[in-house]
């Protein structure tokens, strides 16, 4: 195991210091005055919080000679030194493991993919550890310590306990993934739902920066949703908040693996679209790529399946907008490869089903490479590192 993995404590040992560092991380560089305004703290409190972070090398103060106030003292910009620490993020799918090594600003430095031969927790854990060791070796070459490991898995995940309660794609039940991985890697481990992890990355480093209330909706093998309410990612009492994939939009629709009928996922998930295209065209369609190719060729049954999927997604997003009124909904996921085939239906269905001013919600599409899911996992590790002493 790498000699550069570390259990060093983060010096922001109060909630205020954690908040200030997070603000600089996502919105910086900032002056102390800007920090005080955005954090709602006094200048003295900001100075007290910033000092140990600068001394420990996590923050750097730059003098901006051009930003000189009337009294003559230059305003100093405070920024995060991204190279001060490294983190590893791992996304586990049904077919492969994607791992990334990032800096403290969650910029991907190295990415690795490792195919899975099976979905049993024991070999998946072994493959995960193998991939983590590869990334730790990469970190050795950079001479910077790795401070944490984040793992993202689909399904119901108890982040506080580090347990995967139920992952339908992996067919896992009550797997103590954080404990098992920490024991074999020696790193602090954070395990979270993959969509929530992606939401953390968007909140701190992406299209959600500066927004108090927004949602991330992912389209692909499943239909997921991450929620940020009053600046906090919401997991809910049982870790399944935001499961719009299992909101019923057509009571007479197809059966869903969850046991209900007409869920968004049973209409708009990849497997559902493949099944609909096969039935409509009389062609044996084996995967989403083949279904998409038929739709692009103009095959009517295939195009109709995507149009129906768009309608279901739009109604699901409207449900989110009606329930908590986000400023923005970010639409992402591998399913965006087909976005041109159902974008109009998403917008029309959303407009029809959104109530009142909820219709003003900004729908923003954000195509992301699959490594971004692993980056989301790294973001949760960064989040845990920053907040470990503050909470």
Per-residue model confidence as pLDDT tens digits over 101-122: 999 999 999 999 999 988 999 9
Residues of the chain with pLDDT under 50: 1-3, 70, 72-73, 389-391
Q: CA 382, CA 387: separation in Å to the nearest integer?
A: 9
| Model confidence, pTM | 0.90
Q: Do domains 15-83 and 85-201+372-387 have the same CATH topology?
A: no
pLDDT of residue 1: 46
Residue 380's nearest CA partner among 226, 181, 187, 150 is 150
CATH number for the domain whose boundaries are 85-201+372-387: 3.30.420.40
Structural domain boundaries of the chain?
15-83, 85-201+372-387, 210-365
Distance of alpha carbon 39 from alpha carbon 320, whole angstroms: 28
Instruction: Name the β-bridge partners of 263.
Output: 248
CATH code given to domain 15-83: 1.10.10.10
Please report the pLDDT score of residue 163 as a whole number.
Answer: 95
pLDDT at 69: 54
Does CATH number 3.40.50.720 belong to domain 210-365? no
Which of these, 186, 132, 196, lies nearest to 164 by C-alpha position? 196
Report pLDDT for 389.
43
Output the pLDDT for position 68.
Answer: 54
Confidence (pLDDT) at 3: 44
Please tell me the distance from the alpha carbon of residue 253 to that of residue 276, in angstroms, as a whole number. Answer: 12
């Amino acid at each position: 195991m790498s000699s550069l993995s570390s259990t060093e404590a983060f010096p922001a040992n109060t909630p205020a210091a954690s908040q200030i560092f997070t603000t600089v991380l996502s919105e910086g560089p900032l002056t102390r005055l800007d920090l005080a305004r955005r954090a709602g703290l006094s200048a003295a409190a900001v100075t007290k919080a910033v000092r140990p972070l600068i001394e420990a090398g996590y923050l750097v103060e730059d003098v901006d000679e051009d930003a000189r106030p009337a009294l003559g003292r230059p305003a100093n910009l405070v920024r995060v030194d991204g190279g001060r620490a490294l983190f590893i993020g791992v996304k586990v799918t049904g077919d492969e493991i994607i791992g990334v090594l990032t800096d403290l600003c969650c910029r991907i430095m190295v990415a690795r993919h490792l195919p899975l031969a099976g979905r049993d927790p024991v070999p998946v854990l072994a493959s995960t550890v193998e991939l983590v060791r590869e990334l730790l070796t990469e970190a050795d070459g950079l001479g910077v310590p790795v401070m944490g490991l984040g793992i993202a898995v689909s399904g119901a995940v108890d982040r506080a306990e580090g347990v995967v309660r139920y992952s339908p794609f992996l067919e896992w039940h009550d797997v103590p993934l954080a404990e098992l991985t920490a024991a074999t890697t020696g790193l602090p481990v954070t395990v979270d739902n993959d969509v929530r992890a992606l939401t953390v990355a968007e909140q701190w480093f992406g299209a959600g920066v500066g927004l108090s209330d927004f949602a991330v909706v992912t389209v692909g093998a499943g239909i997921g949703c991450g929620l940020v309410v009053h600046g906090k990612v919401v997991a809910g009492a049982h870790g399944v908040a935001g499961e719009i994939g299992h909101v019923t939009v057509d009571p007479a629709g197809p059966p869903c693996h969850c046991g209900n009928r007409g869920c968004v996922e049973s209409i708009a998930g990849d497997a559902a679209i493949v099944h609909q295209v096969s039935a409509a065209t009389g062609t044996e369609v084996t995967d989403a790529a083949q279904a998409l190719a038929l739709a692009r060729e103009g095959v009517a049954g295939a195009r109709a399946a995507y149009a129906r999927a768009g309608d279901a997604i739009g109604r699901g997003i409207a449900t989110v907008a009606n329930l908590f009124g986000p400023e923005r909904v970010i639409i992402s996921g591998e399913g965006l490869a087909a976005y041109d085939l159902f974008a109009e239906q998403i917008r029309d269905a959303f407009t029809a089903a959104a109530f009142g001013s909820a219709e003003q919600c900004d729908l923003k599409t954000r195509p992301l490479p699959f490594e971004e899911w692993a980056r989301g996992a790294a973001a949760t590790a960064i989040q845990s590192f920053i907040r470990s002493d503050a909470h």
